[in-house]
Chains A and B, each alone.
Chain A
Amino acid sequence: MNENGNKSHLTIALAGNPNAGKTTLFNSLTGLNQKVANYPGVTVERKEGIWDLGDRTATLIDLPGLYSLDATSLDEQIARDVITGKVENIPPPDVIVSVVDATNLERNLYLTTQLFEYGIPVVVALTMIDVFEKRKHEIDIAKLSASLGVPVIAVNSKAERGKRELAEKVNALAGTASKIPHESNGGAPNGENALIFARYNFISKAVQDSVKHNDKIEHRVSEKIDRVLTHKVFGLAILVLILLTVFQAIFSWATLPMDLLDKGFGALGDAVRASLPPGILADLLVDGIIAGVGGVLVFLPQILLLFLFISILEDTGYLARAAFLLDKLMSRVGLHGKAFLPLMSSFACAIPGIMATRTIENKRDRFATILIAPFMSCSARLPVYTLMIGAFFAGQTVFGFISLGAILMLAMYTLGITVALIVAFILKRTLLKAPPPPFIMELPPYRMPSIRTVFQNMLTRAWLFVKRAGTVILAISIILWALMYFPRSSQPGSSGQSSVASGQQAGSSVNEQQTTNNEPLPEGEQLRNSFAGRLGHAIEPVIRPLGFDWKIGVALIASFAAREVLVSTLSIIYNVGKGENEESETLISAIRDAKDDSGRTVWTPLTALTLMVFFVLAMQCMSTVAIVRRETNSWSWTLFMVGYMTGIAYLASFLTYQGGRMLGFQ
């Protein structure tokens, strides 16, 4: 107690919505007197600091950012426990400072009305007031304070505005009894919904009395656009149209730089071959490194364009509208609203997407999202889709103007989403049964995209792609080349003696040949006798019903390291397999011309489509498997995911290929 008979040290809780400026205010009030730890037993960060109030001090507790105190998430549960004094070593707060973002007053005040109901004095700290005033809005703080029945102080941490006044109000209120504003809960009939409506009515009245918005026209336009873009029919149609346009642009704009890169790598290969004497190093450099890494790097223009469009859509605020549209669909299958962001991130790469599921509180909801995230078509699948489309569907149009490639691309993305929703629907009704909690989604205002942000995002993704090509894919290309090059076999001098009749005989015939003479086998036969060739032949019976030969089998096995390795493997396989006198050709023409052991064409449009379907649905990514194991902390769930995804991929590819053949396609 101090000389006035007051407590000499207070406990103050700082509560507010995420991004309301709470941490900035906390730092400004406490300076360097901070301690960061976790709340006992959980990974929720606990920040405390000493706030000098003048004649006494206070421990300021920065509560986790929250939208409400409904205790549906761990953060909300912790905040509620702190306010009610249930957390070890933290006394119940004497005063709560409710941090309210002036630019989002209605939403932020919802938490404040809940804080009123705990019987602890509340002071409202109004942040972002500079942004609010810059937008030419007006606020009568005295009126707002009177309507809410608590002191309201406008603060600006950078300008030191309101800090002293806030300390004075907190000092004055500590130890006093608080009363709940009559309208916030009075008159509300029993039931949680009625209470929510009563809180919002109270907020609405308080805001209407004290705030004058001067951007009504802007708001009205934004609302009108939203009515169309989030409409359940027009909104979806516009989403499909936008995606089609994006894919069409990716295909048409990327063609020229891709062709140039392809020819460039081809020319580089020919130049290296010409400058080196024939031998193992020349073969490794040209058929292994240049073909493998170059085969993947050719797709860089498309990756750049894809992320350019994604960044623009995100920065304009459209992606949030797309999220809103799909959220309805997701909630119908039982997915949590918070699953959208992880799933959206998975379109770039499943790894950050799976890590982003940490925001989902319920374990079952979280696991359901993790298990379906790899169905989203990540950027590593793009080279596979593009190669297949470029080889067999390029230049074809539907209705004379829509590129067939763009439609197929959209179909692959849609297939992934559809299967993910079906799986989620089944999982949420069987293994991961749990009701989806309610979720409020905030739609950001429309704005012009920032060129700097868009280019930064695009270049970051492009750099990751190039880095991967220069490290992991380079190493895998060299290893794969070695597996396709060794052992070197030789044949008996007499013509007409086929060294290997079939894959099953490969092992024994190689040994016999090596002991007879030293004349090397033709390159095609060398490849068939190689380690990779034998492995491919071993799995051929399993993949034959999908229309795949042993070379595709080798590429499928290799692509488990990373999906885009399929492209580099095919590039190496068709380079290693050709004779020394043949010139380097593009991968697309090599695929079109490829023949199997019996001389039949290996690749048809149906084979290409089947391979695309397989890649949409199969779990061909070692890194994703690792992250799923870490995030679920369970081998059972990880193996279950690999198993069910491979099963679905096989079944869907089988149905595509055999169904296509039954319909008369080859």
Chain B
Amino acid sequence: MFDLQTIIAALLIIGALAYASVVLLRKTRAFSRKGACADDCGCSSKSKTPKTAH
């Protein structure tokens, strides 16, 4: 059977792993491309040049 020390240590390690996974997941999201919104307000990474009437 596991003693109390082992259980607490295991919980700490699991907690650290969970926290690191969340941080990593957030970083992974930061890697992803910025999406465009429905009407092109200019926030999309695809918009590069101003649309002007000539």
Contact = CB atoms under 8 A, between A and B. Distances in A.
6 contacts: A43-B43, A78-B50, A86-B52, A281-B8, A482-B13, A630-B30
Contacts of A633: 33-34, 45
A475 B5 contact: no
A339 interface: no
Contacts of B23: 472, 475
A41 B51 contact: yes
Interface stretch (A32-40, A321-329, A585-593): A32-40
A476 interface: yes
Interface residues of B, number: 31
B42 A86 contact: no
Given A277-B5, A472-B23, A626-B30, A40 B42 contact: yes
B1 interface: no
Given A86-B52, A479-B17, A626-B31, 8 more contacts: A41-B40, A41-B47, A281-B5, A281-B9, A471-B19, A476-B16, A482-B16, A630-B34
Interface string A466-485: 00000110111111001000
Given A40-B42, A86-B54, A475-B23, A629 B49 contact: no
B31 A77 contact: no
A38 B4 CA distance: 59
A279 B30 contact: no
Nearest to A282: B5
A367 to B, nearest CB: 14
Most B Cβ at <10 Å: residue of A86, A284, A475, A630: A475
Interface string B17-49: 101100100010011011000001111010101
A99 B11 CA distance: 62
Contacts of A42: 42, 47, 49-50
Contacts of A279: 3, 5-6
B14 to A, nearest CB: 10
Given A43-B43, A280-B5, A626 B52 contact: no
A622 interface: yes
A87 B53 CA distance: 6
A623 interface: yes
A633 B6 CA distance: 45
B50 A626 contact: no
Contacts of B3: 279
A78 B42 CA distance: 13
Interface string A38-52: 111111100000000
Contacts of B8: 281
A74 interface: yes
Most B Cβ at <10 Å: residue of A38, A77, A281: A281
A55 interface: no
A475 B20 contact: yes
A476 B20 contact: yes
Interface in A358-408: none
A314 interface: no
The 4 closest A-B pairs by CB, nearest first: A478-B16, A281-B5, A41-B51, A38-B42
Given A86-B53, A633-B34, A284 B43 contact: no
Contact of B13 (A44, A479, A623, A626): A479
Interface in A6-27: none
Interface string A632-644: 0100000000000
Interface in A279-294: 279-282, 284
A627 interface: yes
A39 B43 CA distance: 10
Nearest to A279: B5
Contacts of B9: 280-281, 284
Contacts of A475: 15-17, 19-20, 23
A41 B37 CA distance: 12
Contacts of A623: 27
Contacts of B5: 276-277, 279-282
A527 B52 CA distance: 66
B46 to A, nearest CB: 9
Given A74-B50, A479-B13, A41 B42 contact: yes
Contacts of B40: 40-41
Contacts of A88: 51-53
A607 B26 CA distance: 36
B16 A39 contact: no
Interface string A66-104: 000000001001100100001110000000000000000
A630 B34 CA distance: 8
A78 B13 CA distance: 54
A484 to B, nearest CB: 12
Nearest to B41: A38
Interface in A184-226: none
